[in-house]
Amino acid sequence: MTFIHKFTRRKNLLPLTGALMMFVASCAPKYNPTPAPDRLLPEIQTGAATFSASGGVVENFYLNFKSLGNVPIEEYGIVYAFLPDTTAVNLVIGSSYPTAKFKNAPRIGANTETFNISLPTGMHALSYRAYAKVVGGEVRYAPNRINKTY
């Protein structure tokens, strides 16, 4: 085979190689990432607590989930404080204020739990609000807080 013959054969392969590469590239799966869904956190409202008929005990706490969101809820309930009067305090979990953790799985709508918490002497007000802690540690609080004088 002469040099010219070899060169001509290789020259004919170039268009074929180019076409083959374009075909392979067009068959390869396209990278089209699906965007991660937005984190939707729960929406919660504080409901009215009930006191026992005989007095001296908080029987039930109520809260209402408007939305559960799409991030799993680890814990939810009521953070509360007994106070000498209805002074506003920063009710957050992990502080010096106790929590009433609900045991049942959260559901849209009304959620209630019985606690039977004794009212301490010398205190005349109860301030409380609902919270929901999601996976990752973020805490959502109800926009409303309830203050009751007893």
> Could you tell me if residue 2 is inside a domain?
no
The total number of structural domains in the chain stands at 1
Residue ranges making up the domain that contains 106: 43-149
> For the whole model, what pTM was predicted?
0.74
Determine phi and psi for 20, rounding to 5 degrees: -65, -40
Mean pLDDT, rounded, of the chain? 84
Cα–Cα distance for residue pair 29/1, rounded to 1 Å: 42
Give the model's confidence band at 131: pLDDT under 50 very low, under 70 low, under 90 confident, else very high: very high
> Could you tell me if residue 141 is inside a domain?
yes
> Could you tell me if residue 90 is inside a domain?
yes
> Could you tell me if residue 7 is inside a domain?
no
> Could you tell me if residue 88 is inside a domain?
yes
Instruction: Please state, for a pLDDT cut of 90, what percent of the chain lies above it.
Output: 57
> Could you tell me if residue 30 is inside a domain?
no
> Could you tell me if residue 18 is inside a domain?
no
pLDDT digits (tens, 9 = 90+) for 22-57: 665 666 566 666 666 788 999 999 999 998 877 778
CATH no. for residue 145? 2.60.40.10
Non-local CB neighbours of 83 within 8 Å, separated by 6+ positions: 89, 123, 124, 125, 126, 127
